[in-house]
């Protein structure tokens, strides 16, 4: 029974701290080890439950910031697996814990806020997602100022959210701000810059500003190819985006080559 478990653990914490820590290390390694071994394409709702179990044990053996770094890495991987409904409660629980332990405006709240926003957006809860993104942005700006590189990621997320809600003028402004921060921080040929270029180009394509979008797609594609090589899976979406644009411009032969 849960109450028996709780009292026994409290007793062990007082009288046998070594045993208490060893038990939680074993539990953490057991559940986290399963997550480490999983490929994104093979993730299932059971992996969300494993993350919850691993988190329970991690809180007993890790310092708060160490725990946050671990959780951020695991939750971002699981979010890629699209197991959103089971992942949501775990993210909410972790966010509440971070707020209680480190404070509601601590920078460590930003990653769970961004992940929750992504999850809610995919569940068509756009207003809640936007509110979380704006809170994450405000937290970063109050801690680091307006031009810190970590702010660019949240700007990019918020811009994409606004774009999917057809608020393209607001989204374009945020994409340009994110792009300026990334280029200033990393240079013009960094992979992070290419991601924002690709997103901005998609927005411009949506609003039929194709002549502006094409060079951005090509620049993003060049960076991806220089970083990953010509046949990396990450390049496929940009090839597809550029091919769609060329098709709209009646440049079918060029588009076909890219689709192929």
For the stretch 97-156, pLDDT in tens is 999 999 999 999 998 998 889 888 888 888 999 999 999 999 999 999 988 988 998 999
Please measure the distance between the N-terminal and C-terminal CA atoms of the chain and give it in whole angstroms: 59
Q: Which residue has the tokens 């901005």?
A: 200
Contact between 220 and 240 (Cβ < 8 Å): no
Contact 227, 192 (CB under 8 A): no
User: What is residue 76's predicted lDDT score, i.e. its pLDDT?
Assistant: 83
- For residue 13, the model assigns a pLDDT of 84
Predicted local confidence at residue 216, as pLDDT: 96
Which 8-state DSSP code applies to residue 63? -
The helix (run of H) or strand (run of E) holding residue 154 is: helix 149-164
Q: How far apart are CA 158 and CA 163, in angstroms?
A: 9
The pLDDT score that the predictor gives to residue 78 is 84
- pTM of the shown model: 0.79
- Residues in the chain where the model's pLDDT stays below 70: none
CB 40 within 8 A of CB 81: yes
Instruction: Give residue 1's pLDDT.
Output: 86
Strand (E) positions, the chain?
none
**221 and 242 in contact (C-beta within 8 Å)?**
yes
Contact 51, 75 (CB under 8 A): yes
How many residues are recorded in the chain? 260
Residue at token pair 């890495």 = 73
pLDDT of residue 10: 85
């Amino acid at each position: 029974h849960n109450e028996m478990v709780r009292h026994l653990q409290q007793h062990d914490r007082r009288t046998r701290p070594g045993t208490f820590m060893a038990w939680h290390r074993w539990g953490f390694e057991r559940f986290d080890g399963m997550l480490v071994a999983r490929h994104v394409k093979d993730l299932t709702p059971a992996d969300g439950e494993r993350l919850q179990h691993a988190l329970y044990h991690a809180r007993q053996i890790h310092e708060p910031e160490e725990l946050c770094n671990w959780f951020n890495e695991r939750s971002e991987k699981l979010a890629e697996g699209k197991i959103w409904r089971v992942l949501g409660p775990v993210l909410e629980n972790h966010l509440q814990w971070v707020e209680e332990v480190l404070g509601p405006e601590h920078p460590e709240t930003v990653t769970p806020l961004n992940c929750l926003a992504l999850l809610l957006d995919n569940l068509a809860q756009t207003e809640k997602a936007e509110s979380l993104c704006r809170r994450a942005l405000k937290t970063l700006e109050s801690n680091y100022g307006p031009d810190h590189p970590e702010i660019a990621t949240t700007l990019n997320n918020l811009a994409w959210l606004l774009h999917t809600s057809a608020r393209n003028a607001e989204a374009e402004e945020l994409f340009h701000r994110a792009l300026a921060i990334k280029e200033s921080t990393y240079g013009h040929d960094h992979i992070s810059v290419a991601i924002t270029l690709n997103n901005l180009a998609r927005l411009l394509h949506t609003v039929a500003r194709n002549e502006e979008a094409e060079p951005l797609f090509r620049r993003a594609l060049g960076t991806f190819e220089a970083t990953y090589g010509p046949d990396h899976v990450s390049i496929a979406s940009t090839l597809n985006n550029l091919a769609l644009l060329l098709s709209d411009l009646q440049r079918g032969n060029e588009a076909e080559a890219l689709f192929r």
